[in-house]
Structure 1
Amino acid sequence: MIGLAIAALCVIAPLLHLFLSKQPRTQHRVVRILLLYALVIGAGVMGFLFGFIPHVFFPDEAAKAIGWQPSPFQFEVGIHDGAWGILGFLCIWIGGTFWLATGLGWALFMLGATYGHIYQTVTHDNYAPYNFLMIFSDGFIALWLLGLLYLYWRQGGFAREA
C-alpha cells in the first residue's frame, strides 16, 4: 500500500538524512529536518503524485481502488491534492510561516480524509485498500505534521526564519 509506504518514508528518510549528515544533530536541526521531509513527502509527494495524478488522469482506477463509483468530483479532489502537493514541494525553497500554512492546511485536509475513510469503513463496510488503509497513513501524516509544527514553533523555528 503506497500510503503506508509514504507515511513510513516521512520518518525514515529524514532519519537517514540526519544519520548520514556530518552536521551536528541539535534539537532544532532534527525537528527542522523531520518537518521539512514531512512537508515535502507527506504533502508534496502524497498530494501531487498520489492524489492529483490518479484522480485527474486515472479516475476510474482510482475510484475502484477506493471502493467508490467514478465521480466528476474526483477531478476537483485531484486538483485540490495537486495544489497542496505543489505547496509541499515549494517548502524546499520557501520556509518560515509558509511551512506553518502548508502544514496546517494539509493536516486539516488529511484529518478530514481520515474521518471520511473511517465513516466509509464503518457505515458501508468499505474495506477497499485505498479506503481502509488510508485511515492509517492519512491519520499518521496529519498527526505527524501537527506534532512537528508544534515542536518547531515551541523552539522558535518560525520566528528564527522570519
Structure 2
Amino acid sequence: MSLSEIIRLVLQNVAPILFVIALVVAGFDRGKPVADRLLSWLLLLPIGLGGLWSAYFHLFQPELAARAIGWIDSPFQFEVGMADLAIGLAGCFGFFASFGFRAAVTLITAVFLLGDGVGHARQMIVARNFAVDNAGPVFWFDLILPVLALAALFFSRKSRK
C-alpha cells in the first residue's frame, strides 16, 4: 500500500479512527468513572471533531462527499452539513459541559446517526448502493457510536446517583 493510499484511507475514515482513539484515551484517563470518561471522549472526538470533519465535506466539498456516498450532489448536502456542524460544535462543547448538556447532545446525535444508519441500510437494499461511505466503516460507525454513547450516558447517570 502506497503512502497516498494510506493517507486516503485515513482521510476517508477520520470519524471511525477518532472513535477508536476515544476508546483508548478513555481507558487511560483515570480522573472519573469509566462511563463519564467514555462519554467525554466520545463527545469530543468522534462526535465533536468527527462532526466538524463531516460538515467540512458536505459544506465545502459536496461533490466529493456525494460521490463517496454513491449519490449525486444535491442541495440537501448543505442541510446535512449544517446538522453535522451543529452536532460537531455541540459535541466539542459537551466535553466540558454539564451532564444535562451532555445528555441532550448524546440523544440528538444518537437520533441523527441511527437515522443515517437506517438510511444507509435502505440504500444498500433498495438501490444496491455499496459505495464506501454508504456501506463501509461509516455505516457501522453510524450504528455503534450512538449505541455506545447512549450506554455511556445511562451508566454515567447511574454513577451520579
Cα distance in structure 2, aligned partners of 1:118 and 1:152: 30
Alpha carbons 2:43, 2:91 under 8 Å: kept: yes
- With CA pairs under 8 Å and 6+ residues apart, which has the higher RCO, 1 or 2? 1
- Structural RMSD (CA): 1.5
Deviation at 1:125, TM superposition (A): 1.1
Alpha carbons 1:66, 1:130 under 8 Å: kept: yes
| Residue among 150, 153, 156 paired with 1:149 | 153
Alpha carbons 2:18, 2:50 under 8 Å: kept: yes
| Residue among 129, 144, 149 paired with 1:126 | 129
Q: Choose 33-42 or 9-18, whichever is displaced more.
A: 9-18
User: Which residue number corresponds to residue 9 of structure 2?
Assistant: none
The alignment partner of 2:33 has SS state of helix
Question: Could you tell me the TM-score, scaled by structure 2's length?
Answer: 0.86
Q: Which AA in structure 2 matches 1:76? A: E
| Residue among 66, 69, 85 paired with 1:66 | 69
Alpha carbons 1:7, 1:140 under 8 Å: kept: no
Question: Could you tell me the TM-score, scaled by structure 1's length?
Answer: 0.85
Cα distance in structure 2, aligned partners of 1:156 and 1:11: 21
Deviation at 1:91, TM superposition (A): 1.4
**Aligned sequence identity (%):** 29
After TM superposition, the runs of 4+ consecutive aligned structure 1 residues lying more than 2 A away are none
Deviation at 1:95, TM superposition (A): 1.8
User: Which residue number corresponds to residue 160 of structure 1?
Assistant: none
Q: How does 1:25-64 map to 2 (within 5 A)?
A: 29-49=33-53, 51-64=54-67
Deviation at 1:108, TM superposition (A): 0.9
